[in-house]
Amino acid sequence: MVNKKNKTMKQKFIKDLQFKDRLTDELFAVKSLKMGKTMDGRDYADIVLSDRTGELSGKIWDECLKHCAMPDVGAVVFVSGSVEEFRDKQQLKVLNLKEALETEFELEDFLPRTEKDIEEMWGRVETAVATVKNEHLRLLLNSFFQDKKFVKKFKQAPAAEMIHHAYIGGLLEHTMEMLEFSENVIKQYKNINKDLLICGILFHDIGKIEEYGVDHTIYRTVPGNLLGHIVQGLITVSKAIESIEKFPKDLSAEVLHLIASHHGQLDYGSPVRPMTIEAFALHLLDMLSSKIKTVDKVLLDNKESEQEFSDYQRILDTKIYLK
């Protein structure tokens, strides 16, 4: 079906697919593509396809490879095939695949987006920045959050590739949640430096703006793979601190410590563990937002399931009771 703009309207989204469904020239974005060989030496390809509702793994067997033009990761493609069952999960057997032109699809069909109002959430961030009283921290925050190019990137950035808040506006939503959670923590613990904690919340994932790229899919960039968002964040904020005259060295160390330690454990990617009350609070607020969001996604993904428990969730190290 073609609309008035001569773009193909997407007929089926991944969340709606059922076993034995047959697809003819259905549009998907290519999340990943890897070639392999069977035990008897036949070629095949593992492919992961995506749209705004989720992801679907697929196989292109040797007899079908000749009918499939191998696209780049991130490309949008027309796919024909059938949905089969593999280890109790859906897997697409791809029969035919060809790349779509930019004029043949609607970008909104492929990029998941926050359901919350971006400008409303941004207003919450601006309010938090305005409450910071320390002049050096306020200058540091303003160097980012009053920069139009940075603001545009921050509003659109995802907070992850696949796990929590993995959609356009996800970083902003994750940040806003942490700001709101922090209000009661600050009220309860008078030893917490409110200005520092707000800086930590706003800066802790700033490296994700460069870690993830957004095309027709969300993907990890070369710097994202080689450095990760913690190192990226430390580099970015360090440069900004150096540009501010007479920024106190100890305060600089505390700000950077918040970014460096926010994963809480060396095993989780932080080069140091939290050593200040603000760093502990930041880590736990980060976990609160990310873990609850992850569980919520599992519940949403399984809302039609008749099972009592979800599959084992590696990132949560448990199954989730589906009620």
pLDDT in tens, 282-309: 999 999 999 999 999 899 888 878 889 9
Predicted confidence (pLDDT) at residue 2 exceeds the cutoff of 70: no
Each domain of the chain, given as residue ranges in start order, spans 14-109, 118-301
Q: Is the separation of the CB atoms in 50 and 110 below 8 Å?
A: yes
Give me the CATH topology for the region 14-109: OB fold (Dihydrolipoamide Acetyltransferase, E2P) (2.40.50)
Q: What is the pTM assigned to this prediction?
A: 0.80
pLDDT digits (tens, 9 = 90+) for 35-75: 999 999 999 999 999 998 888 999 999 999 988 888 888 89
Predicted confidence (pLDDT) at residue 84 exceeds the cutoff of 70: yes
> What band does 21 get if pLDDT is binned at 50, 70 and 90?
very high
In terms of residues, how long is the chain? Answer: 323
Percent of the chain predicted with pLDDT > 90: 73
- Residue 107 CA, chain-centre distance (Å), reads 17
Residue closest to 179 by CA, chosen among 204, 147, 152, 211: 204
Q: Average pLDDT in the 189-216 region?
A: 94
Is residue 322 within a helix (H) or strand (E), and if so which, with residue range? none
Predicted confidence (pLDDT) at residue 5 exceeds the cutoff of 60: no
Q: How far is CA 24 from CA 93, 94, 96, 286, in A?
A: 12, 10, 9, 43
Q: Average pLDDT in the 80-101 region?
A: 91
